[in-house]
Amino acid sequence: MALALNDKVLAEAFGPSTGTALRIKQAAMVVLGIAVLAIMAKVKVPMWPVPITMGTFAVLTIGATYGPRLGLATIMGYMIIGALGFDVFAGSTAENAGLTYMMGGTGGYLVGYVVATLALGFAARAGWDRSVLMMGVALLIANALIYLPGVAWLSVLYGNGLAWSVEVGMTPFLIGDALKLGLAALLVPGLWKLIGDARS
């Protein structure tokens, strides 16, 4: 059954929508999304109190523009490539990569990436991506879904308690996250308006 206009996510608003051409477009978007995630994970913008890494921004925007299924395929492809030992994560290196890296301090945040991608995909499918306000709410929820397993895993891994995990694993990043969430909240609805397909 064809998607109604108000069921579409941004990735479905252009290009082929049926048949083999659609599958080719979707495969190309997954490959492109994985490449964007890997590149953006390595981008650091100087900021106080810690540099802003753009990996989270890429996760959030891909979740919001790809929808739940294509977004999940993309983030899982990214995780599989990382698990195979490729240097695609923000803190990974050629020597510290793969499952060993993924089970370290960032492991919980990587789980959160998957959950946040799904949450944003469903929010976009419900039309939250057409409004700056609703997009902002969806992004706040998704960001919380990244922090919950991230902070919890830090607490389990290092055994220093929840307060310590929040202090080192969340608090220093809140200013940078606010900027990234604001940018994404403007970007996705702005793209809808740009293509002239905003919901009335």
Per-residue pLDDT in tens (0 to 9) along the chain, 200 residues: 334 445 789 999 888 888 999 999 999 999 999 999 999 999 988 887 788 889 999 999 999 999 999 999 999 999 999 999 999 998 888 788 899 999 999 999 999 999 999 999 999 999 999 999 999 999 999 999 999 999 999 999 999 999 999 999 999 999 999 999 999 999 999 999 888 754 44
What pTM did the predictor assign? 0.90
Q: State the Cα–Cα distance between residues 51 and 18, nearest whole angstrom.
A: 43
Contact by Cβ (8 Å): 9, 129: yes
- Tokens representing 95 are 């020597």
Contact by Cβ (8 Å): 129, 75: no
